[in-house]
Amino acid sequence: MNFLSSLIQGYFLFPIIMVLNILFAITVIFLERKKPSSTWAWLLVLFFLPFVGFFLYLLLGRQLRKKHLFRWDGRKDIGIEQLINYQIEAIENNELELRTENIKNYSHLIYMNLKTNNAVLTQDNDVKIFDDGSDKFEALISDINHAKNHIHIQYYIFKLDNLGQRIINALIKKAKQGVKVRVLFDEMGSRGIRKRHFKELIEAGGEVEVFFPSILPLINPRLNFRNHRKIAVIDGRIGYIGGFNVGDEYLSLSDRFGYWRDTHLRIEGSAVHPLQTRFILDWNQASAKNDIIYAERYFPIIPQKGTAALQIISSGPDTEWEVIKNNYLHLIANAKKYVYIQSPYFIPDESFFDAIRIATLTGIDVRIMIPNKPDHMFVYWATYSYVGPLVEAGAKVYHYEKGFIHAKMIVVDDEIASVGTANIDVRSFSLNFEVNALIYDRLLAHRLAEIFERDIMDCSELTLELYKNRSNYTKFRESMSRLLSPIL
């Protein structure tokens, strides 16, 4: 009797659940006007996981309200709005001083970034490239030890292992000396880390904030929107940007990943000011009561350190334009000789995939480097499903065999390069908060190309023969992963 009663209840309950599921799909997904690929992916989730899929959507699929997420009145005080307006007008009138012919070749890209991202062009920077974690963190800790005024640290992942503790100890020492120390980390990236774990730093006078913290344990309706940026600013004069997070694996101390290949930049010059602005905007969004107000010490006058031209560009679900993706598309579309790409994830949207395939078919030397040691299996096979057709079109695809490649770099024609935090995937294009340095400098672009070509020595090539002879099981994993790629 109990079984029959349960069967009857289920018979009537199932149609109700399905009707509710359809209403959820109509009112939540279609009204949010997502891209068709993402809409269909979520419809599949709702269809195969009725009701449960809706709660997954609430956690992972909702769009972020963009209004007033990042605000800081100090932008007016540092004159950035005036400088942006001046550079826009000067480019429109062909009056902006672009110091090299190479920079002049990309005036349209500079203009786009000014108009859509408030990305000031600076032409006085000295840039050091790090492709090894030990070198990068030794330099960062040395700069921390020599700080005199303030230290701003922001990482997606901040682990309190040996490396993390070294950095914290250095920060505690500086805080006790009166240097203002601020640390910002992303809760999703730094799982298990809480503000209370920085107790000694806070007691020494440092401040710590968490980006998009959970409302309750294990409940975070904004966990799908991750601050993937990695920024450090020392005294407003030295800036760091790139792919390295804080953790022992980034020093190649992980048995799982082995050698960790990443790319990071150390910048001295006026480009540090846009990095500082980006940090302050992120900090004030996360801060409940410790907002940073404008002070001249955060934006000191910096003597000319070099000649490299940079724009610091950022994007996220709060912005109207997919700025970093648009930059990638412009670089690919205007390549004349080659495009080199390094990314741990290669799950492009349709526009990026078409751009890179067209470049290949028109004779551009397209080379893509991806890991051979996946850190997320679905992502790995989705990546494989996209690079395979590019191999068929004539691109060269390399699997990095020495360890794990985490670099996010594009270099084009020995003329221009992009290094930062954004991967080649829909998440970095639309969901994550990212930041990249766009480098208009031949010497630096050439150096990054040399690093790429050196890395090829530690790679195996995915040839057309290997791709065509892959197993049916591999094809199945590719197909399933690609189907879910818009929501990975």
Residues designated catalytic: 228, 230, 235, 406, 408, 413
**In sequence order, what are the residues at sequence separation of 6 or more whose Cβ sits closer than 8 angstroms to the Cβ of residue 86?**
none
Which stretches within 287-374 are classed as H helix? 323-333, 350-361
Q: Which of 58, 98, 1, 16 is nearest to 440 (CA)?
A: 98
For β-strands 259-268 and 403-405, DSSP reports them as parallel
**In the block, residue with structure tokens 């695809």:** 397
Do 262 and 269 form a contact (C-beta atoms < 8 A)? no
Per-residue exposure over 436-467, b if at least 16 CB sit within 10 Å of its own CB, e if not: bbbbbbbebbebbbebbeebeebbeebeeeeb
Do 292 and 283 form a contact (C-beta atoms < 8 A)? yes
Q: Angle 375-377-381 (CA atoms, 0-180°, nearest 5)? A: 120
Would you call 303 helix, strand, or coil by DSSP?
coil
Do 205 and 175 form a contact (C-beta atoms < 8 A)? yes
**In sequence order, what are the residues at sequence separation of 6 or more whose Cβ sits closer than 8 angstroms to the Cβ of residue 8?**
none
Tell me the DSSP string of 413-480. TTTEEEEES--EEHIIIIISBEEEEEEE-HHHHHHHHHHHHHHHTTEEE--HHHHHT--HHHHHHHHH
Where would I find the beta strands (DSSP E) of 8-149? Answer: 121-132
